[in-house]
Chain A
Amino acid sequence: MPVITVREALRQALHDVMQDERVFIIGEDIGHYGSTYGVTAGFLEQYGPERIRDAPIAEAGIVGLAIGAAMAGMRPIAEIMSVNFSLLAFDMLFNHAAKIYSMFGGQMTVPMVLRTTNGWTQLSATHSQSFDAYFAHMPGLKVVAPATPYDMKGLLKAAVEDPDPVVFIEHTLMYTMKGEAPDESYTVPIGKARLAREGRHITVVTYSRMVHLSQQAADILARDGIEVDIIDLRTLRPLDMSLAIESFKKTNRAVVVTEDWQSFGTSAEIAARLYEYGFDYLDAPITRVNFKEVPMPYSKNLELQTVITVDRIVQAIRHALA
């Protein structure tokens, strides 16, 4: 199977779905500028300005127009350059996209995708955030956050084909990551977790970029004979906990690694489900690894102490096994 980057996987998926005339992309700097992270570079030249719509810097408008167009039979992909800017579109997403199908008694659907990206690289407090938990909190939305090129490609196609609004969360530090993905078109189902690594001593439940850091942590621990089960959730809403609970019943210990703030974050929900369904199998408190609870500092020294590192995951796993 070919080895490609996350960026290339996303590009392949987008080229694939663009075969459907109903699909168009709307976002900031996706065309003339050449795309901030290179995902849609060359698309304007190939598909033209009708379908590759460079939008004003107006996030509510980008998402609002995508919702309206979706209601009227299109399959829009709205791109919010950085998840930090998505806050300006939360009214659209929460009060409209998430509600329209149910509030009007199922008369209308909103088959749109919101592509956006988490990430941090000395961008400081307002450009280094994660709102995974906010998105995943809202009934009516579907939320995916894949980790590998294979899943990026398959889940993006699934998201575009889905009749409900889907938030598709990428990560700026993952675009150059490589992995296997077939050339042909395929989908990965929304709402299905996967076993990313098989072990027997402890369960790590995670998603997105943290899957890779957890793998590195597991490699280090393997030298000491510690075998780690890694569950990649892939979808946050609806949350498929079946593999995580199954693994937990086997290992009796768990670490939850999510790249957001701990308080009321995604790790809180994941840990609560493990407690609810795995309480009788519990040998130790569940440990969580998250951002430190501060607005992201600019200084590289402080930033690296705020974010999750492989070393922090290793320590958390050792702690949970102690």
Chain B
Amino acid sequence: MNKDNKTPCHDCQRRAAQRRTVLKTVLGLGVSLPFFDVVKAAAKDPAATPPTVGDQFVFVLGDKKGEVIKVEDLAVGGPQQLAYPMEPTGGVVRDGSRLNQVLLIRFDPAQLTPEAKANSGEGVVAYSAICTHQGCDVSQWKTDTNTLLCVCHGSEYDPKDRAKVTFGPAPRRLAMLPVKVEAGVVMVASAFKGKPGFMDL
């Protein structure tokens, strides 16, 4: 006989308590909501909330760390710039989850494939910075092939072609984050296309 014995969650006591509180509230109001949506809503922390339409981006590294990223900050042709989304009115940087880390990269729009172009703004494309292989940072740049490179196992992605895998063990493309540009500032245009992160075995 073979039983899969999943590990209990790390903070499941806290989560269970949270669930109970939420359920009580919901039952008290007589509102019927799907259970998992309730849990998700209750856990919402603006810093951990996924990129949201209208979010701007801030630098993760370097002298401009924390500053809003403008189109002119991005060199045409790469390399990528690591960024976190920022909720613009309250200024909350969404760095509460690594899965919110994205990379911005700018090209001549004519170089982008149609799908990449459709989700770009003034030649700027944005992708999840989390490798689809084992979840490491896609933080490096290969100048000879113009590809995004993962630090762990060398997977490479073509940013001009919707982050298609061009080398290495990654099983699928990076999730794309559609962006637009307003007054020279790069902003989120819609939610991730695809799921950021990797599928554990």
A and B associate? no
